[in-house]
Amino acid sequence: MEATLRWLAARTPSSLDVVRLWDGTPVPCGSSRQTAQRSDLFGWAGYGMDKSHQRLYWGVELMPVCAPDGLVTGFVMVNPKPVKERDAMRVMFALEKNRPEPGTTGV
């Protein structure tokens, strides 16, 4: 999936835009404790707070980086409990393949 995303982004004109948008989105993976313990994501996913729905969830936080027209140019999935959005973006941009071009502005 990541290879396809990068192939598409490299061939789309909006990937040259110097503005990038990023935000976190909760991805619930289970709603019961037993499901969480049996899941292959156990130990990687965690409990987080979905502030828009005022509830706790068990799952991951998807952090996409997008061009203004919505083209996804990079993403990372993190455990929502120990990693906050700002720290997740630092982790994502530490990888050279996710780092935007010099001079890019992020909001």
Give the contacts of 26 (CB within 8 A, at least 6 positions apart): 48, 50, 57, 59, 60, 61, 62, 80
> What pLDDT score does 105 carry?
72
Query: Does 97 score more than 70 pLDDT?
Result: no
Domain ranges across the chain = 2-106
pLDDT band for position 99 (cuts 50, 70, 90):
low
pTM of the model: 0.70
> What pLDDT score does 103 carry?
66
